[in-house]
Amino acid sequence: MMKLFAIFGDPVEHSRSPLMHNSVFKNLNYPACYTRVHLKDGSQLRQTFFNLALSGANITVPHKEAAFKACDEIRGFANKVGVVNTIVNENGRLIGYNTDADGFIYAIEEFKEIKKVLILGAGGTAKALAARFLEESYEVSVLNRSEGRLEFFKELGCNCFTWSDFKLQEYDLVVNTTSAGLKDEELPAPQEIIEQVLSSTRYVADAIYGKLTPFLKAAQKKGLSFKDGADMLLGQGVLANELFVKKRLSKEAIKTYMQKSFEL
């Protein structure tokens, strides 16, 4: 019987996830297909999931925290951060996981000797990365427009700043987790702050993929080593697909055919 998987997001039309997962299913003869679902209201995620009779789903911005609430059971790292980006349907119960954080660690393997990281933004992706970075014994700072969402990060033990009280330090890596630059030409913080930050780091990463965001353009101008979110997307996608197929396909084969989808 053919299984159906999907990605939920707003926006979602840019997502490469269908190409990646369908490449695996097709080339490894797994009876499944993967589509996009443009979801405006995160509170409708659970109902929409069942209405579509899905076997599993990925969740992208801005619904990762809503996805956590939609699940019947949370497993692994997602418990730590309250953020879910992968859901699997187990006999009518929704099981939530987070593959974002490990996907990102995979993506930055080539960045050497990371000790101090600055995260821009305080949403679901930021939560997952902050908690994972702390597991790696990095010193983590978080910069967000306003105070409202910083409590979680303070409790984790991060240095927290708003745009108005930001104190610059030297960083090894600065990561944009906001959606600034996804559909516009915005920067993730005021230009003055971005200029300072980029003058005080060795590496730069953006969770957005498929385009050179204004943030990455600014990093490029300064001659910094930078990455967009493509490797993070690949890393989390391989882990998510393993969950979807219940590890019936080899991880290496999944990775191979996901990488091939990037050549399309």
Q: CA-to-CA distance for 240 and 168, rounded, in angstroms?
A: 36
- Overall size of the chain counted in residues: 264
Q: Which helix or strand (DSSP H or E) is residue 113 part of?
A: none
The pLDDT confidence band at residue 244, using thresholds 50, 70 and 90, is very high
Q: CA-to-CA distance for 85 and 100, rounded, in angstroms?
A: 7
The pLDDT confidence band at residue 80, using thresholds 50, 70 and 90, is very high
pLDDT at 264 over 80: no
Beta-bridged to residue 3, according to DSSP, are 32
**DSSP code for 190:** -
Which SS3 state, helix, strand or coil, does residue 101 take?
helix
Question: In this structure, are residues 213 and 180 in contact, taking their beta carbons and an 8 Å threshold?
Answer: yes
The pLDDT confidence band at residue 157, using thresholds 50, 70 and 90, is very high
Number of H helices, E strands in the chain: 11, 12
Catalytic residue numbers read 64
Residue % of the chain over a pLDDT of 90: 97
Which SS3 state, helix, strand or coil, does residue 163 take?
coil
The pLDDT confidence band at residue 171, using thresholds 50, 70 and 90, is very high
Give the least confident one: 3-7, 106-110, 162-166.
Answer: 106-110
pLDDT at residue number 135:
96
Average pLDDT, the chain: 96
Residues 6+ apart with CB under 8 A from 130: 81, 119, 140, 142, 153, 156, 158
Q: How many CB atoms lie within 10 A of CB 216?
A: 20
pLDDT at 6 over 90: yes
The pLDDT confidence band at residue 54, using thresholds 50, 70 and 90, is very high
CA–CA distances in Å: residue 43 to residues 47, 70, 74, 76, 182 = 8, 8, 17, 23, 23
Residues 6+ apart with CB under 8 A from 183: 11
- Give 13-42 pLDDT, tens digit per residue: 999 999 999 999 999 999 999 999 999 999
127-164 burial code (b ≥16 CB/10 A, e <16): bbbbbbbbeeebbbbbbbbeeebbebbeebebebbbee
Q: What is the mean pLDDT of residues 232-244?
A: 97
The pLDDT confidence band at residue 210, using thresholds 50, 70 and 90, is confident
- Give 83-139 pLDDT, tens digit per residue: 999 999 999 999 999 999 999 999 999 999 999 999 999 999 999 999 999 999 999
Q: CA-to-CA distance for 113 and 158, rounded, in angstroms?
A: 19
pLDDT at residue number 53:
98
pLDDT at 263 over 90: no
Q: CA-to-CA distance for 119 and 244, rounded, in angstroms?
A: 30
Q: Give the DSSP per-residue string, 40-91.
A: S-GGGHHHHHHHTT-SEEEE-TT-HHHHHHH-SEE-TTHHHHT--SEEEEET
Residues 6+ apart with CB under 8 A from 104: 128, 129, 132, 175, 205, 207, 232, 235, 236
